[in-house]
């Protein structure tokens, strides 16, 4: 089969959407398919690979280092007339994503969309709560132009269906348990941070930005220090909120963006993963922390709702219960035996997940769209023939 994947973000950009899209692309290739990638040009020196179509982009406000794909409907129509994909997957709702759906519809190519970002929640986080409903309506119009909308959790299926999104289909996520592994705990790395073997290390991994609710993580850590004065907090990632955090918290350790094995060592070297975000559609980092054997405190939705058992792998706290979030961080920080037990069980929570299964399921979903479109075309031709015959 020949597939096209359209995304406004892709590695070396580091974010959950980029990495998820890359995993889906590689998974289809590993299954023997021809995959075309459509994305914005990331810099003046960015040269398209043989399987890529690069379009013009523009800086994305509030997201330094990321670009928004500009409208490209005519270019995609021309490209897909020459090399027609059997199906298209559109990962992002920006101008390029809208162009891809228009081009696919114009050419009669089945298209799936991916619901990766809760822009409605972002409106609250950036002080624009009155735009929440408008953002949700905008996303509904976008995704209802696709033949199916793929989401990672049952919870999100139920929510979107309640908001009149059509054809919502669950595509579970997975984690690379060969990369993220407790065995990658690195005492040398901890020593660089000035930590002993017994020092409690809280860790946050992700974008350092307002939508991640990071003031709560800071508050929780300061409460942890009341019972563990030697505790330290390591931050992995970058974003617009980092400068303020560094200025206000000179004792925090900031490691910047980490990738691959370096990221896996950072994760496994932590003792408690503190993840206060309320704006995730999933939260891949939750799976990475669990696979690394790191007890996790997160709000009970997204990946945590699917895989994190409260009291077994860490704590799953009712959304918006900030006092409960802080209390669970303190409780787990204070109990070495509990953390050790959770460290052993956390990996078990995700040990059965396999990226290969995600690729298989994704391939099957796209094939279903192709077959459904063929059946509709056949039925239309048959109906037309009957009318002409009569």
**CB-hemisphere CA count at 13 Å for 266?**
21
CATH of the domain at 233: 3.40.50.2000
Q: Are residues 198 and 237 in the same domain?
A: yes
Q: Are residues 60 and 43 in the same domain?
A: yes
pLDDT surpassing 90 at residue 231: yes
Q: Are residues 275 and 136 in the same domain?
A: no
pLDDT surpassing 70 at residue 384: no
pLDDT surpassing 80 at residue 254: yes
pLDDT surpassing 90 at residue 383: no
How many Å is the maximal CA-CA distance in the chain? Answer: 87
Highest mean pLDDT out of 8-17, 42-51, 55-64, 332-341: 332-341
Residue 297 is inside which H or E element, if any? Answer: strand 296-299
- What pLDDT, on the 0 to 100 scale, is given for residue 123? 63
Q: Are residues 148 and 38 in the same domain?
A: yes
- What pLDDT, on the 0 to 100 scale, is given for residue 44? 82
C-alpha to C-alpha distance for 116 and 10, rounded to whole angstroms: 13
Q: Are residues 257 and 120 in the same domain?
A: no
Q: What percent of the chain has pLDDT over 70?
A: 92
Q: How confident is the model at residue 134 (pLDDT cuts 50, 70, 90)?
A: confident
C-alpha to C-alpha distance for 373 and 389, rounded to whole angstroms: 24
The model's pLDDT over 267-321, given as tens digits with 9 standing for 90+, comes to 999 999 999 999 898 999 999 999 999 999 999 999 999 999 999 999 999 999 9
Q: Are residues 131 and 200 in the same domain?
A: no
Residue 58: CB atoms within 10 Å: 12
Average pLDDT value for residue range 220-225: 98
Give the bridge partners for 59, in sequence order.
67
pLDDT surpassing 70 at residue 180: yes
The tally of domains found in the chain comes to 2
| Dihedrals phi, psi of 46, to nearest 5 degrees | -75, 120
Q: Are residues 73 and 124 in the same domain?
A: yes
- Strands 57-59 and 67-69, how do they pair? antiparallel
Q: Are residues 197 and 105 in the same domain?
A: no
Q: How confident is the model at residue 58 (pLDDT cuts 50, 70, 90)?
A: confident
pLDDT surpassing 80 at residue 187: yes
Q: Which residues in 56-198 belong to E strands, given as ranges?
A: 57-59, 67-69, 87-90, 111-114, 148-151, 168-170
Q: Which of 59-63, 65-69, 295-299 has the lowest mean pLDDT?
A: 59-63
Q: Are residues 206 and 268 in the same domain?
A: yes
The parent domain of residue 221 ranges over 182-349
Average pLDDT value for residue range 23-37: 97
Q: Are residues 308 and 248 in the same domain?
A: yes
Q: Are residues 91 and 138 in the same domain?
A: yes
Average pLDDT value for residue range 134-153: 93
Q: How confident is the model at residue 15 (pLDDT cuts 50, 70, 90)?
A: confident
Per-residue tokens: 272: 């408690």
Give the bridge partners for 232, in sequence order.
201
- What pLDDT, on the 0 to 100 scale, is given for residue 129? 74
- What pLDDT, on the 0 to 100 scale, is given for residue 67? 74
pLDDT surpassing 70 at residue 387: no
pLDDT, the chain, mean: 92
Q: How confident is the model at residue 237 (pLDDT cuts 50, 70, 90)?
A: very high
Q: Are residues 45 and 133 in the same domain?
A: yes
User: The pTM is what?
Assistant: 0.87
pLDDT surpassing 70 at residue 125: no
- What pLDDT, on the 0 to 100 scale, is given for residue 136? 85
Residues 35 and 3 sit within 8 Å (Cβ to Cβ): yes
Q: Which of 281-290, 309-318, 356-365, 380-389 has the lowest mean pLDDT?
A: 380-389
Residue 36 is inside which H or E element, if any? Answer: strand 34-40
- What pLDDT, on the 0 to 100 scale, is given for residue 230? 94
- What pLDDT, on the 0 to 100 scale, is given for residue 14? 81
Q: How confident is the model at residue 43 (pLDDT cuts 50, 70, 90)?
A: confident
**Could you give the C-alpha distances from 179 to 262, 267, 354, 365, in angstroms and in order?**
10, 11, 12, 27
């Amino acid at each position: 089969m020949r597939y096209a994947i359209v995304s406004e973000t892709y590695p070396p950009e580091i974010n959950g959407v980029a990495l998820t899209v890359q995993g889906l692309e590689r998974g289809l290739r590993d299954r023997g398919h021809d995959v075309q990638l459509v994305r914005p040009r990331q810099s003046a020196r960015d040269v398209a690979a043989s399987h890529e179509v690069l379009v013009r982009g523009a800086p994305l406000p509030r997201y330094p280092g990321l670009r928004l794909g500009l409208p490209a409907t005519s270019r995609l129509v021309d490209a897909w007339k020459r090399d027609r994909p059997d199906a298209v997957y559109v990962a992002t709702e920006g101008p390029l994503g809208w162009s891809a759906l228009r081009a696919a519809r114009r050419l009669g190519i089945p298209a799936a969309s991916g619901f990766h970002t809760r822009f409605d929640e972002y409106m609250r986080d950036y002080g624009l709560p009155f735009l929440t409903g408008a953002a949700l309506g905008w996303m509904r119009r976008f995704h209802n132009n696709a033949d199916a909308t793929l989401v990672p959790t049952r919870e999100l299926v139920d929510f979107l269906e309640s908001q009149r999104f059509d054809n919502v289909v669950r595509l579970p996520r997975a984690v690379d348990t060969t990369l993220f592994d407790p065995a990658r705990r690195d005492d040398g790395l901890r020593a660089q941070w000035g930590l002993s073997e017994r020092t409690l290390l809280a860790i946050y991994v992700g974008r350092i930005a307002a939508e991640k609710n990071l003031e709560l993580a800071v508050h929780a850590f300061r409460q942890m220090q009341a019972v563990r004065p030697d505790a330290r907090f390591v931050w992995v990632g970058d974003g617009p909120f980092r400068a303020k955090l560094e200025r206000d918290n000179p004792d925090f350790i900031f490691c910047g963006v980490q990738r691959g094995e370096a990221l896996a060592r950072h994760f496994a070297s932590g003792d408690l993963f503190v993840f206060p975000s309320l704006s995730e559609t999933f939260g891949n980092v939750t799976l990475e922390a669990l696979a690394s054997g790191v007890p996790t405190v997160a709000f009970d939705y997204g990946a945590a709702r699917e895989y994190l058992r409260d009291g077994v792998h860490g704590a799953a706290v009712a959304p918006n219960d900030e006092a409960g979030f802080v209390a669970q961080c303190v409780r787990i920080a204070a109990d070495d035996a509990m953390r050790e037990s959770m460290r052993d069980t956390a990996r078990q929570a995700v040990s059965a997940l396999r990226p290969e299964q995600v690729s298989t399921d994704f391939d099957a979903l796209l094939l279903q769209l192709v077959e459904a479109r063929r059946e509709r075309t056949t039925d239309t031709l048959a109906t037309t023939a009957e009318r002409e015959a009569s």
